A and B are shown apart, each in its own frame.
Chain A
Amino acid sequence: MLWLWWQLIIRYAWTYRLRTAVQVLAITVGVALGYAVSLINTAALAEFNAALREINGEADAVIEGSRTGFDEQLFARVARDPGVQLASPVLATDVLVAGTADEHPPRLTVLGIDVLRAAPLSPTLMGDASGTAESAASRFAIFGDGILLSPSALARFDVAVGDLLTVQAGSATVALKVRGTLPGVRPGSLLGVMDLGFAQWRLGGLGRLTRIDLRLADGVSPETLRARLDLPPGVNLSGPDATSARLANLSWAYRVNLNVLALVALFTGGFLVFSLQAQGTLARRAQFAWLRATGLERRQLERLLVAEAVSIGTVGSILGLFAGVAIARAALGALGGDLGGGYFNVGQPPLGFTLLTAAGFAALGILAAVAGSYLPAREAAHAPPAAALHAGGEEDVLRPLGRAWPGLALLAAAAVLLSLPPVSGVPLPAYLAIGAILIGAIALQPRIARLVSRPLADWLQTARAGTHAPMLLLAANRMVQAPGSAAIAMAGIVASFGLMVAMGTMVSSFRGTLDGWLVQVLPADLYARVGQSMTDAWLPPADLERISAHPGVRHVEFSRAVPLQLAADRAAVVVVARNIDAADPGTSLPLVGRSLAWQPDQPPPVWVSEAMVDLYGAQPGGTLELPLAGSLHRFSVLGVWRDYARQFGSVAMRATDYQRITGDVTRTDAAIWLRPGVQAADVSRELLQTLDSREVIELRAPDEIRALSLRIFDRSFAVTYVLEAAAILIGMIGVAATFSSQAMARSREFGMLRHIGVTRGQILRALALEGTLATLNAILVGLLAGLVIALVLIRVINPPPFHWSMQLIVPLKLIAGLIAALLVCATGTAAIAGRRAVSSSPLRAVHEDW
């Protein structure tokens, strides 16, 4: 078999090396993209977890509350518990750093720690004060006041030991002396450490803690201790894995979709392999028949052809692995560890390689090649040698492709798969349905080609137009009589164009819906904000007065965004306290459906985002308990609103209710309506001269916010755009290769046409027309399949992990452009490929079978 493999497969591959190269390239691109995405995700998560371990140290368990913290009295009770060997109190605060030239004030995570208790648990947080005026022997002395900064923070904020760092915490601007560094902290980590008491005093956390790190006594588990401690509402005790899980969940949906999109490239590559392998097998039909006649068994032939596919897949996969590493390095450098998704802040983490992952992607590449080759191999092995020994009859081989039932059965299977629920949160049945839709569409393509081409062929046969367009008649007749050949050639195009339409429509729908949502949620003329919802800064009361009193301001609505931890393994939910008219909440919120009426005897009203419905089961008509001000409060859920800004859940409540329950009068955001004729830029400039928070406040017009949001969106989907481009590139390469291959296989036919008086130019014209008709058919099928798949992506796949709904918006211009590009490519390629085929002597063409 080795001899046969070498002589029949490898030498053949070398002889037709262009076709072989294209097949290898298809697998290479798919494996490269998939492996690159996997490498990046692994590196980013590993780096993030390492950073997390740095901050959390060697704790066995963690007690955590919301960002507003909990009463520090809890610490005394916990530290006394016999199950606790060591307890380390922490005040964790995200502050905004003032005085930088950044578009957005940068964030710094500050940990206030009790150095004696923290040292055994978090040794990396112990600083280095060498080079300062304090005694180097007493590192604890430097914790009296000031802050230690990580090396990356020093560089980022352009400060040195001994300088002042100005931050906004709460409503106050605070200047902190940089006392030293944190040399043990990993590069890229923006971290500061202060003495706990000093941090509570200067950063507005008096009497509050946000975390207690625990070393448990022998034999005590987090579960045991949790059951014993009576923790207040909103405060959770969890093992270190829960924190890691929460942070992994932050980006899980994004990473899963990235992996799937990368697999799309591999899937498309597999279809291209199928196209070329089917054609190659067809072209060698007589050879295989001779081998079977001479004594090669069916199984042996099948094994040989599968070995061919494995060879192609192996070479493609190996090249793909190397290319994947290169792509991963380049992508991390250009887009960062989260590929623009905004989930991590880890800079450019190093790539880590595991043999298992590389082997897995190599196996996927080989599997794609084998899957693409299996049907042609099986057909070749089982074809009756007697018929195949005589030239012609290739279309008879392909006649079964014209049967409608396989394609219809696959579409029916897709419908069934779409009705199945996700598996462990991953919409796996829906992804399989997409595969079934694509393969079903490709299977139906010959039937559709015949249906679409027959009226044209019939009309040309009888009409005068047929007399003047004989080449078009030839081309149309070929589509009717030999649709199988066109179907094989176009399988790659249907797959790649269909997937491009689907992904393009998904992105366009999301982008368009996001844009429309932004218009709806940004009705004011100007917006002010201090930091984002995950920081601990707010607008000073004096600034609230100044904004309201500005002569150009007609009306202001202030709001407060507060993160709440409802589950230890999930990201925080954001409570948005703002002006809402309970009788007509649609004027303030982009509602999904109607809002229920509220009665004064009911608990206070709230409106939840779609993510709250998915993740926490909050439903209109039900109630929701939220931990605010140290206790649980019940609210009436009146409706659902669409919130694309906060993926993990948000709850909108009336500002008056929030203030009454919490006593918190601080505000983080302002929506400002201006008087007629007043310019937003002028008001913005004047406010920045007078506000106390001018170093950290952001003032933007709604158009600016929209543009910025869409830029972030485009950056997040940068990888999707790359994968779309890869899919269409693979498709175009497929068109070129398959037309070239088919043209060479039809040399005998062209020789015969030349014999009866058809010129070379006419043959090329016929080929170009065939290419156009076949591509148009493929585009039609791909477009239909792509739109259906887009609906699946939008309605079935995206909602569960991302917890949002969106409208269907088809990117007509993009699709039209792609159609034009494909038609030009296909028509041109068919003609160019035909040149070589018609260049040989017609005598040689008809008298030789090769």
Chain B
Amino acid sequence: MAGPALDVSQLSRRFEQRQILDHLDLRVAQGELVAIVGESGSGKSTLLNLIAGLDQPDAGSIRIDGQDLASLDDDARTRLRRAQLGFVFQSFHILPHLRIGQNIELPLVLLGIDAGERRQRVAELLDAVGLADRVGSLPRQLSGGELQRVAVARALVHRPVLVLADEPTGNLDAETAALVMRLLAAQIRGRGAAGVLVTHSAAAAALADRVLLLRQGHLHPQVPDAR
């Protein structure tokens, strides 16, 4: 049996006088989508940044597909993100001066994938998110919901092991948010990736396989009624 896509063990992080994360454990299996909820300032984004290797913990370990982040320098962590991680952000972060197709293929370019295969994969992902006819459009020609679907496509185009989504529906209306979340969940599971979703939205969390509450630096299973 394959190991977990994400294995976080005894993770701690402190900012100034505050203990944000305190010996936190988290394991996410391949194909599993985990939602993390919590109050503002509870450390959800900090946890995501640590998992992504964008920040360094004070203690504990993080393994992505068996690779321990602590053993990697900044460039190596960057290369790991390039190959193994996908990101979906609340603010989309779509590059405004690139066409939709070019935005999506950017991770493939970084991996050195040739143009032919890039085109093929971009077409596949755009089709999966229902934007097959927008490959040549500019970002300003798309709505917020469409842009977030582009972001989902971009997060998955390079077949990552783990997708990290930070409030992916924060800027969307309820209906669009539900659509994007269903799409994200389906694509993550369908491609055998693991997903960690940080959200305030109960509806978004409901689509996850597990919901964890981050409180006082620890993760607690969220009971179904509390969702």
What count of chain A residues pass the 8 Å CB interface test? 31
**Which of B18-26, B30-38, B94-102, B215-223 lies at the interface with chain A?**
B94-102
Which residues of chain A are within 8 angstroms of B91 by Cβ–Cβ distance?
286, 390-391, 849
Contact between chains at B75 and A295 (CB < 8 Å):
no
Q: Is A15 an interface residue (CB 8 A)?
A: yes
Q: Is B179 an interface residue (CB 8 A)?
A: no
Contact between chains at B74 and A298 (CB < 8 Å):
yes
A 264-300 binary contact with B (CB < 8 Å = 1; else 0): 0000000000000000000000110011111111110
Contact of A295 among B45, B78, B89, B144 (CB under 8 A): B78
Which residues of chain A are within 8 angstroms of B109 by Cβ–Cβ distance?
3-4, 7
Which residues of chain A are within 8 angstroms of B52 by Cβ–Cβ distance?
293, 386
Shortest Cβ gap from A240 to chain B (Å): 61
Shortest Cβ gap from A4 to chain B (Å): 6
Which residues of chain A are within 8 angstroms of B98 by Cβ–Cβ distance?
7-8, 11
Q: Is A131 an interface residue (CB 8 A)?
A: no
Q: Is A616 an interface residue (CB 8 A)?
A: no
Q: Is B81 an interface residue (CB 8 A)?
A: yes
Contact of B82 among A286, A287, A294, A847 (CB under 8 A): A294
Q: Is A691 an interface residue (CB 8 A)?
A: no
Contact of B55 among A291, A386, A847 (CB under 8 A): A386
Contact between chains at B75 and A299 (CB < 8 Å):
yes
Contact between chains at A294 and B81 (CB < 8 Å):
yes
Q: Is A385 an interface residue (CB 8 A)?
A: yes
Q: Is B93 an interface residue (CB 8 A)?
A: yes
Contact between chains at B78 and A389 (CB < 8 Å):
no
Which residues of chain B are within 8 angstroms of A290 by Cβ–Cβ distance?
87, 89, 93
B 42-55 binary contact with A (CB < 8 Å = 1; else 0): 00010001001011
Contact of B171 among A7, A293, A295, A847 (CB under 8 A): A847
Contact between chains at A295 and B96 (CB < 8 Å):
no
Shortest Cβ gap from A14 to chain B (Å): 8
Contact between chains at B107 and A15 (CB < 8 Å):
no
Contact between chains at A12 and B82 (CB < 8 Å):
no
Contact between chains at A849 and B92 (CB < 8 Å):
yes
Shortest Cβ gap from A187 to chain B (Å): 55
A 1-25 binary contact with B (CB < 8 Å = 1; else 0): 0011001100110111000000000
Contact between chains at B81 and A389 (CB < 8 Å):
no
Contact between chains at A847 and B96 (CB < 8 Å):
no
Known: A298-B74, A384-B55, A385-B54. A293 touches B81 (CB 8 A): yes
Known: A384-B55, A386-B55. A295 touches B93 (CB 8 A): no
Shortest Cβ gap from A289 to chain B (Å): 8
Contact between chains at B107 and A8 (CB < 8 Å):
no
Which residues of chain B are within 8 angstroms of A295 by Cβ–Cβ distance?
78-79, 81-83, 85, 107, 110-111
Which of B45, B54, B74, B139 has most chain A Cβ within 10 Å? B54
A93-133, CB < 8 A from B: none
Q: Is A353 an interface residue (CB 8 A)?
A: no
Interface of A is mostly: helix
Contact of B75 among A4, A15, A291, A297 (CB under 8 A): A297
B149-200, CB < 8 A from A: 171
Q: Is B70 an interface residue (CB 8 A)?
A: no
Which residues of chain B are within 8 angstroms of A390 by Cβ–Cβ distance?
45, 91
Q: Is A850 an interface residue (CB 8 A)?
A: yes
Which residues of chain B are within 8 angstroms of A391 by Cβ–Cβ distance?
91
A391: nearest chain-B partner, CB-CB: B91
Contact between chains at B102 and A7 (CB < 8 Å):
yes
Which residues of chain B are within 8 angstroms of A14 by Cβ–Cβ distance?
97
Q: Is B29 an interface residue (CB 8 A)?
A: no
Which residues of chain B are within 8 angstroms of A3 by Cβ–Cβ distance?
109
Known: A3-B109, A290-B87. A297 touches B93 (CB 8 A): no
Q: Is B106 an interface residue (CB 8 A)?
A: yes
Known: A287-B95, A849-B92. A296 touches B110 (CB 8 A): yes
A455-513, CB < 8 A from B: none
Distance of A294 Cα from B105 Cα, bound (Å): 12
Shortest Cβ gap from B13 to chain A (Å): 11
Contact of A287 among B93, B102, B111, B144 (CB under 8 A): B93
Contact of A298 among B75, B89, B144 (CB under 8 A): B75
Distance of A291 Cα from B144 Cα, bound (Å): 21
Which residues of chain A are within 8 angstroms of B111 by Cβ–Cβ distance?
295
Which residues of chain A are within 8 angstroms of B106 by Cβ–Cβ distance?
7, 291, 294
B93: nearest chain-A partner, CB-CB: A290
Shortest Cβ gap from B112 to chain A (Å): 10
Distance of A7 Cα from B115 Cα, bound (Å): 14
Which residues of chain A are within 8 angstroms of B74 by Cβ–Cβ distance?
298
Contact between chains at A293 and B87 (CB < 8 Å):
yes
Distance of A848 Cα from B139 Cα, bound (Å): 11
Contact of B96 among A292, A299, A850 (CB under 8 A): A850
Distance of A6 Cα from B107 Cα, bound (Å): 15
Distance of A299 Cα from B74 Cα, bound (Å): 11
Contact between chains at B95 and A8 (CB < 8 Å):
yes
Contact between chains at A294 and B107 (CB < 8 Å):
yes
Shortest Cβ gap from B36 to chain A (Å): 16
Shortest Cβ gap from B5 to chain A (Å): 17
Shortest Cβ gap from A51 to chain B (Å): 57
Shortest Cβ gap from B111 to chain A (Å): 8
Which of B49, B92, B95, B144 has most chain A Cβ within 10 Å? B95
Shortest Cβ gap from B6 to chain A (Å): 16
Contact between chains at A850 and B139 (CB < 8 Å):
yes
Contact between chains at A389 and B107 (CB < 8 Å):
no
Distance of A129 Cα from B107 Cα, bound (Å): 84
Distance of A475 Cα from B147 Cα, bound (Å): 35
Distance of A293 Cα from B171 Cα, bound (Å): 21
Known: A3-B109, A11-B97. A292 touches B87 (CB 8 A): no
Distance of A779 Cα from B216 Cα, bound (Å): 52
B83: nearest chain-A partner, CB-CB: A295
Shortest Cβ gap from A681 to chain B (Å): 73
Known: A11-B97, A296-B110, A849-B93. A384 touches B171 (CB 8 A): no
Which residues of chain B are within 8 angstroms of A850 by Cβ–Cβ distance?
94, 96, 139
Which 7 residue pairs of A and B lie closest in terms of their CB atoms, listed nearest first?
A: A295-B82, A15-B97, A386-B49, A386-B54, A290-B93, A849-B91, A850-B96
- Show 17 A/B contacts (Cβ-Cβ < 8 Å), sorted by A: A3-B109, A7-B98, A11-B97, A11-B98, A12-B97, A294-B107, A295-B79, A295-B81, A296-B82, A297-B79, A384-B55, A386-B54, A389-B54, A389-B93, A390-B91, A847-B171, A849-B93
Give 7 A-B pairs besides A7-B98, A7-B102, A849-B93 with Cβ atoms closer than 8 angstroms.
A294-B87, A295-B81, A295-B111, A296-B78, A297-B78, A389-B54, A847-B171
